[in-house]
Amino acid sequence: QSGYITLDPGFKNTGSTESAITFLDGEKGILRYRGYPIEQLAEHSNFIEVAYLLINGKLPNRHELDQFQGTINRHSLVHENMKLMLQAFPAHAHPMGVLSSLMASLSTFYPESQNPHRAPEMVNLTIIRLLSKMPTLAAMAHRNSSGAPIMYPKNSLGYLENFLYMMFGMPTEEFSIDPVIVDALDKLLILHADHEQNCSTSTVRIVGSSQANLYSSISAGVSALWGPLHGGANQAVIEMLENIKADGGNIEKWIDKAKDKDDSFRLMGFGHRVYKNFDPRAKIIKKAADDVLNKLGINDPVLEIAKKLEEIALQDEYFVQRNLYPNVDFYSGIIYRALGIPTEMFTVMFALGRLPGWIAQWKEMTERKEPIGRPRQVYIGENVRDYVHMADR
Ligand code: SDX
């Protein structure tokens, strides 16, 4: 404490807002979107319906859902100049960097971004544009690195089929996608859709609190998500599992490395700021990983290493004492890999899933007219001192 300032690095014990969107109970491993348990939504709902629920606060009836889906489909094209922008990026550019740049540039194409008063109908149009164009931009980010031609969206396809078509389709071939892949992806995106005030959502809120437009706020969220301690963990998990596999499957050696204070290596996909028993999403994703690999007839040795690593870590005192359990990122990469998603696109998949949550949180913050975010600090620098002229230095 210093005067009236309470220092709380990482905001571990600070509530930044009141929200009616997502409920988490870290002790009991509970996650609900607008009161609906994540287990039921993952089982019975679909990603577009969950997006509607998060943003509008209720499950849509048939007419509302059809209208929402139909409107989204009709905004999936992006300005042709964005293809020229893509040519400016090097082929090795990480898709998250390309995506955050393209998302930020959306605000230069749409006049409503400059509308400081954000009339509700303009906000709704921006929301539809974001939901509709992000999959197009995400697929463009992938095509930039693969060198394949950009695929234009097809409005006759569903939301996820359209994304997979833009990711993997070719102008020279007919396109078909295994429904197992679409169902698995749908479930994964539902599980990633919101998670209360995590790092990237707090970033979206604080950027939006300055009344920056929603496109720029979402672009900031994409950048925050990229970090390996946050959404970038799903890519880091697969790289870690591949390293363990290359190292002869020597799991104990890598667990010791993660426990070694002198070694910066952490067990990626383990631990969570809020969940101190288990991440309910990890339980669902672990089962889905088994289902998808069985249905697709894939035997991925990396999945076996992941299960073995989890088993050993959960019996290791270091991890038990610190309440370190697999989180949402531990198994998700194994499914993305089975679906043919390239490793560097895993965090882009996380961003696609989290988009409705970011939008819902920004909308709630805006509607509640919350003040600009501006934390204080405890100063630990130099005391007052006079300027020293160059001749005297
Ligand atoms: C996501 O917040 C959200 O909701 C995020 C998310 C979402 O949906 O938005 O759930 C998505 O980001 C999941 C987390 C993905 N990140 C990783 O898997 C990276 C590895 N995990 C960690 O770096 C860590 O667990 C965090 C970042 C997730 C949480 O960090 P905290 O809460 O700040 O905890 P900490 O870093 O203070 O660690 C507490 C102790 C430390 O040891 P001591 O100093 O007490 O001796 O646990 C240790 C840490 O060294 N520790 C780990 C570890 N995670 C924490 N040691 C080894 N391996 C790990 N993974």
Distance CA 41, CA 186 (A): 11
**Can you say whether residue 24 is alpha, beta or left, with left for phi > 0 and alpha for psi between -120 and 50 degrees?**
beta
Over residues 280-295, mean pLDDT: 94
Per-residue pLDDT band for 63 (boundaries 50, 70, 90) equals very high
With residues binned 3-state (H G I as helix, E B as strand, rest as coil), the percentages for the chain, rounded to 5, are 60, 5, 40
Cβ contacts of 362 within 8 Å, gap of 6 or more: 204, 205, 208, 214, 217, 218
pLDDT in tens, 236-269: 999 999 999 999 999 999 999 999 999 999 999 9
pLDDT of residue 119: 81
For residue 322, report the distance from its CA to the centre of ligand 1, in Å.
Answer: 10
Per-residue pLDDT band for 4 (boundaries 50, 70, 90) equals confident
Over residues 215-223, mean pLDDT: 97
Mutate which of 191, 257, 284, 322 for ligand 1 pocket (most atoms within 8 A of beta carbon): 322
Distance CA 329, CA 310 (A): 13
- Tokens 């965090």 belong to 347
pLDDT in tens, 353-387: 999 999 999 999 999 999 999 999 999 999 999 99
- Residue 2 clears pLDDT 70, i.e. is over it: no
Over residues 285-298, mean pLDDT: 93
Per-residue pLDDT band for 116 (boundaries 50, 70, 90) equals low
Among residues 329, 386, 389, 392, the one annotated as catalytic is 329
pLDDT of residue 121: 83
Q: Does residue 272 carry a catalytic annotation?
A: yes
Distance CA 289, CA 187 (A): 11
- Tokens 């396809």 belong to 157
Among residues 94, 142, 195, 272, the one annotated as catalytic is 272
Residue closest to 211 by CA, chosen among 335, 366, 91: 366
Per-residue pLDDT band for 84 (boundaries 50, 70, 90) equals very high
Q: Is 55 helix (H, G, I), strand (E, B) or coil?
A: helix
The ipTM is 0.96
For residue 270, report the distance from its CA to the centre of ligand 1, in Å.
Answer: 7
Cβ contacts of 270 within 8 Å, gap of 6 or more: 258, 313, 319, 324, 325, 326, 327, 330
Q: Under a CB-based contact definition with an 8 Å cutoff, are residues 243 and 254 in contact? A: yes
